[in-house]
Structure 1
């Protein structure tokens, strides 16, 4: 089955049940997960990507395009994630940040440089390869972070409230860009948010956690 399948996922903190979900996210679809702080939204993403903290236990299976990824290290799951903070590497240029994500199968300096330049064109930042990330605006950083994640060729995308620190106008622009790129690539998306407007913009199903 294509897409992201969270099959009978149950997460507990110690002896306390925290989350129980059983959902399928189709390619190009955005599933929004809403709930108050402490309800387990980010914990669910951590379980999907393989970074569940000590003290938590999970049962069930995570399947991606029919492949069981439960138990695999995060780097082998082919799942990308965007956070509230862009987390660009400050010691690398914008182009260096993007090149870091390129698959090893893309060989040759010329080919890799061309792929970075094409990626910058795609997000409306041509000629930015040599720029220091510290000189970018919030919207520019968000676009670079998105493209860096996409260049790693993920098969699913997790969004951990990545729009929450953007102002209203910029939020609408970046949100539309992220959802459009995910649809274009047929990526199932799991969006964690406390903002109903994010879920409405996503246009997909919504599930709630906690009270």
Structure 2
């Protein structure tokens, strides 16, 4: 169990409060208006944004001040965060070792991840020679090799067309189901919630609300969510 206990996250004059629990193996959609703090919430979980108050607890252990690499999660960003001068294999290998001194076992994991996302024959290519969907797959492979209990997605497929976007969402769902990881995904699209989420974290008016079952919440939204959904 991952818990934000009476957390307050601040950036400049923005403040977000969160008191919620995230269970292993479940899929969560984080929705809310633009600028509400969805990406900030993910940044705080990953350790890129510090907590001003409160604690982050993982499996009974306080990890509030833990470095991002020491936390039980990995994050896929909107821009995929691939290094253009490195090959696809090297970019994926960075998920295991920042110095890229990969062991034989590491290489086997990288090759397996690339095969799983259908990029085995593109391992030596540079990101700039890949399509947008292929770049997303490469970034997803890097997440996959890290094998963390929580996978966080900050709208990484927003620039893709609807068909390719749905293909990537389905692939993510398959991978987290296979690995047993929990998924926490920022999205603006209610269709994504129906497609992938077990529960929803609604972020609005300075509060990240505790997760609620997706179907019940979307079928009977509270006034704030109804206003957002239109």
* Alignment TM class, shorter chain as reference: 0.7 to 0.9
User: Counterpart in 2 of 1:183?
Assistant: 177
Listed as ranges, the gaps of 5+ residues in structure 1 are none
What TM-score, normalized to structure 1? 0.86
Mapped partners of 2:155, 2:37: distance in 1: 13
1:59-118 superposed Cα distances (whole Å, 9 cap, x missing partner): 2222233332111111111310011111111111111111222259xx864433333222
Q: 8 Å contact 1:42–1:160 — kept in the other structure?
A: yes
**Structure 2 residue ranges without an equivalent (≥5):** 206-230
Between the two proteins, the alignment pairs up a number of residues equal to: 204
Structure 2 residue 16 is the aligned partner of structure 1 residue 22: no
**TM-score of the superposed pair, with normalisation by structure 2:** 0.79
Q: Pairwise mapping of residues 50-69 of structure 1 onto structure 2 (< 5 A)?
A: 50-52=47-49, 58-69=52-63
Q: Which residue of 1 aligns with 2:85?
A: 91
* Correspondence for 2:4: 6
Aligned counterpart for 2:161 among listed residues 156, 167, 182: 167
Question: Do the aligned partners of residues 167 and 24 (structure 1) sit closer, same or farther apart at CA in structure 2, a change above 3 Å counting?
Answer: same
Give the corresponding residue for 1:82: 76
Alignment of 1:23-172 (within 5 A): 23-52=20-49, 58-102=52-96, 109-172=103-166
Q: Name the structure, 1 or 2, with higher relative contact order (CA <8 Å, separation 6+).
A: 1
Q: Cα–Cα, structure 1 residues 200 and 132, in superposed 2: closer, same or farther, change >3 Å?
A: same
**RMSD of aligned alpha carbons:** 2.3
Q: Distance in 1 between matches of 2:5 and 2:89?
A: 38
Encode CA deviations 1:30-77: one digit per residue, 9 max, x unaligned.
222211111111111111111117xxx532222233332111111111
Task: Kindly indicate whether the alpha-carbon contact (under 8 Å) linking 1:4 and 1:156 is maintained by their aligned counterparts in 2.
Answer: no
Deviation at 1:6, TM superposition (A): 2.2
Return the alpha-carbon distance in structure 2 between the equivalents of residues 210 and 165 of structure 1: 24
- 1:98 and 1:12 map into 2 onto residues whose CA distance is 32
